[in-house]
Chain A
Amino acid sequence: MIESQRHSYHLVDPSPWPISGSLGALATTVGGVMYMHPFQGGATLLSLGLIFLLYTMFVWWRDVLRESTLEGHHTKVVQLGPRYGSIPFIVSEVMFLFAFFRASSHSSLAPTVEIGGIWPPKGIGVLDPREIPFLNTPILLSSGAAVTWAHHAILAGKEKRAVYALVATVSLALVFTGFQGMEYYQAPFTISDSIYGSTFFLATGFHGFHVIIGTLFLIVCGIRQYLGHLTKEHHVGFEAAAWYWHFVDVVRLFPFVSIYWWGGI
Chain B
Amino acid sequence: MAEVELKTAPADFRFPTTNQTRHCFTRYIEFHRCLAAKGEESGECEKFARYYRSLCPGEWVDKWNEQRENGSFPGPL
- Interface of chain B residues 12 through 61 with chain A (CB within 8 A): 21-22, 25-26
Residue of B nearest to A110 (CB): B22
A195 vs B25: C-alpha distance when bound (angstroms): 19
A113 vs B75: C-alpha distance when bound (angstroms): 8
Q: Tell me which residues across on chain A come within 8 A of B26, comparing CB atoms.
A: 117
- Do residues B76 and A113 form an inter-chain contact, with CB atoms below 8 A? no
- Do residues B22 and A117 form an inter-chain contact, with CB atoms below 8 A? yes
Residue of A nearest to B67 (CB): A116
- Count of A-B residue pairs with CB < 8 Å: 21
Q: Tell me which residues across on chain B come within 8 A of A7, comparing CB atoms.
A: none
Tell me how far the C-beta of A195 lies from the nearest C-beta in chain B, rounded to whole angstroms.
Answer: 11
Q: Number of A residues whose C-beta is below 8 Å from B?
A: 8
Q: Number of B residues whose C-beta is below 8 Å from A?
A: 8
A59 in the interface (beta carbon within 8 A) = no
A121 in the interface (beta carbon within 8 A) = yes
A33 in the interface (beta carbon within 8 A) = no
Q: Tell me which residues across on chain A come within 8 A of B76, comparing CB atoms.
A: 116-118
Tell me how far the C-beta of A124 lies from the nearest C-beta in chain B, rounded to whole angstroms.
Answer: 10
Q: Tell me which residues across on chain B come within 8 A of A122, comparing CB atoms.
A: 74-75
Tell me how far the C-beta of B58 lies from the nearest C-beta in chain A, rounded to whole angstroms.
Answer: 15
Q: Tell me which residues across on chain A come within 8 A of B73, comparing CB atoms.
A: 116
A114 in the interface (beta carbon within 8 A) = yes
A109 in the interface (beta carbon within 8 A) = no
Q: Tell me which residues across on chain B come within 8 A of A115, comparing CB atoms.
A: 74
Q: Tell me which residues across on chain B come within 8 A of A116, comparing CB atoms.
A: 73-76
Tell me how far the C-beta of A194 lies from the nearest C-beta in chain B, rounded to whole angstroms.
Answer: 9
Q: Tell me which residues across on chain B come within 8 A of A113, comparing CB atoms.
A: 21-22, 25, 75
A142 vs B38: C-alpha distance when bound (angstroms): 56
In order of increasing CB-CB distance, the 6 nearest A-B pairs are A116-B74, A116-B75, A113-B25, A122-B74, A115-B74, A113-B21
Taking Cβ atoms with an 8 Å cutoff, the residues of B that contact A are: 21-22, 25-26, 73-76
Known pairs A116-B73, A118-B75, A122-B75. 4 more at Cβ < 8 A?
A113-B22, A114-B74, A121-B74, A122-B74
Pick 19 A–B contacts, CB within 8 A, sort by A.
Answer: A113-B21, A113-B22, A113-B75, A114-B74, A115-B74, A116-B73, A116-B74, A116-B75, A116-B76, A117-B22, A117-B25, A117-B26, A117-B76, A118-B74, A118-B75, A118-B76, A121-B74, A122-B74, A122-B75
